[in-house]
Amino acid sequence: MAARGNTAVDSITAPQELLDIASEIVARARPDEQVEVACSHRQTTSVKTYDGALESLTVADSFGVGIRVLIDGREGFASAGSLDPTVIDSMLANARDNATFAEADDYAGIAEDDGVQAVEIDLWRDELGEVTNEEKINTALRLEQMVRDADTRITGVRNAGYGDSFGAFALASSSGIRAATRATSSSVSVSALAPDGDKTQTGYAYDGARQPGDLDLQKVADRAVRHTVDMIGATKPKSGKIRLLLDQHVAATILGLIASTLSGDRVIKGRSPYVDRVDETIGAEILTFADDPTDPASLGADSHDGEGLACRRNALVTNGVLRGFIHDSYTGRRSGEGSTASAIRGARGLPGPGIQALCVAPGSGSFESFVDDTEVGLVVYNLAGLHSGVNPVSGDFSVGVQGRMVRDGQLAEPVSECTIASTLQRLLLDVEAIGDDLVHLPNGVSTPSVVIGGMSLSGAA
């Protein structure tokens, strides 16, 4: 194990050390076995403040090892939260034993190196290790105070928080794959409160970066305050067709949900509205997005996927045309398309296909210009019930929404207690404008603002 130093940087096990551990386990593979081993070490800090004082400070140190063993198409898996050699010996035995109880699957197997060269991406910031716990607490307290001072209508802050993470991950397999990475991240969040008659309005905002110095506390405070006080006096709007104006955060939520329906496991199971539609037009011509973990600006960037293959840019929709789906090695074999190096996982879990760093190509025009050009529309602040209100198989959705109406190019009255309804298929086709204001969000999505027309708004009769 790595020696413990004065900073979290020194206390994280080096990726090469984790890789050596994984490689040693793989070296024990029997002639009739495929073996894959993932190892990780992560240290996290979480700070919560309330009413100008520290509410909680949590520092966690976690290890993980996951071992996959495949024998004649039968897969066994075992994991533990320790790198102790005795524990590892037991895990390997358990994984082998579990494989004997599994059903054979012709498509089961570890990933094979496809020759793609990994892009070198620096996801680690030594500077984060020099930040003391006192400074982390003060960051959360400062954010809370900024929100309180911004507007006299703000009477409280539900909570303010700071979090960060140092992590290292390594993977080795009997197919010859070797991969090791490390990364840092930090984030802040806050929820503001304002009285509104017998109700309380709440506005939430957050930001994320590789290190605290890149966090924009002012922008977070401004967004939380605006989304709180702007909703004071909200009423139920009249039903009808509406133009939706989505800033980057809301656009990321909706487009991220749609992109998740393009994963290989959903397509193979027939649980996506886009099954058998490759090379068909599924969106507006101005719409282009891809999964691109090779972009170092994205907070979802990485050099390797969860099976050790080199990450690459995977086009999903280009000028409105569906180009393909994302796959891990298993769904790649089942579909006959091969892996797109899109496996995601933790060391203690099995890999599966998933979006790593969704990137929506920017267009032209600012969010403000979209408001100016709107006769009647709705600037969306919050979506409620997005996951429960969306059927990812049929594409139907109906979700709660609140925000501010736009009338004749001006922000107007706030509205709530209403829903928007359409289908995911129709939504992409109804994209009317895409901004030039792309931002890289903490959830790994990079997107500009988006305008969608023809949406059904259900409110007052």
Residue type, 422: S
9 vs 440, higher pLDDT? 440
pLDDT for the residue 196: 96
Looking at the fold, whether 181 and 259 belong to one and the same domain comes out as no
Residue 90 sits in a domain whose CATH number is: 3.30.2290.10
190 and 240 in a single domain? The answer is no
Distance from C-alpha of 124 to C-alpha of 373, rounded to nearest angstrom: 43
The fraction of the chain above a pLDDT of 90, given in percent, is 93
Asked if the structure places residue 368 within a domain, the reply is yes
Structure tokens at 296: 């170092």
In a domain, 227, yes or no: no
**Do 284 and 368 lie in a common domain?**
yes
408: in domain: yes
Integer Cα distance of 108 and 92 in angstroms: 18
Residues 186 and 261 both lie in one domain: no
Q: Which range is least confidently modeled, 193-197, 390-394, 451-455?
A: 390-394
Q: Is residue 2 part of a domain?
A: no
- 31 vs 148: CA distance, rounded Å: 65
Q: Tell me the CA distances in angstroms from 307 to 48, 272, 370, 442, 449, one per residue in order.
A: 35, 24, 42, 23, 33
Dihedral, CA of residue 336, residue 339, residue 340 and residue 342, to nearest 10: 130
Q: Which of 174, 194, 221 is the last residue of a domain?
A: 221
Beta-bridge mates of residue 23 = none
420 & 306 share domain: yes
Q: pTM for this one?
A: 0.93
pLDDT average, residue stretch 350-365? 97
Q: Give the domain range for residue 456.
A: 234-461
Residue 239 and residue 204 in one domain? no
Let me know whether 135 and 14 are in one domain.
Answer: yes
Domain identity same for 102 and 215: yes
Confidence of residue 385 (pLDDT cuts 50, 70, 90): confident
**Based on the domain organization, do 143 and 244 belong to the same domain?**
no
User: Is 95 domain-assigned?
Assistant: yes
Q: Is residue 250 part of a domain?
A: yes
For 127-149, b/e burial (b = at least 16 CB within 10 A) is ebbebeeeebbebbbbbbebbbe
**Domain final position from 165, 189, 221:** 221
Query: What was the pLDDT predicted at 3?
Result: 32
448 shares its domain with 299: yes
Of 221, 248, 266, which residue is a domain's last? 221
For the chain, what is the domain count? 2
Q: Are 389 and 458 in contact (CB under 8 A)?
A: no
Say if 256 falls within a structural domain: yes
DSSP 349-414: S--EE--SSEEEPP-SS-HHHHHHT-SEEEEEEEEESTTTTB-TTT-EEEEEEEEEEEETTEEEEE
Same domain, 184 and 136: yes
* Coil vs helix vs strand at 76: strand
Q: Are 303 and 179 in contact (CB under 8 A)?
A: yes
pLDDT band at 92; cut points 50, 70, 90: very high
- Residue 184 identity (one-letter amino acid): T
Residue 119 · residue 297 · CB < 8 Å: no
CB 410 within 8 A of CB 399: no
Are residues 206 and 303 part of one domain? no
Range 316-324 average pLDDT: 98
| 265 domain residue, yes or no | yes
Residue ranges of E strands in 51-177: 53-71, 74-80, 156-173
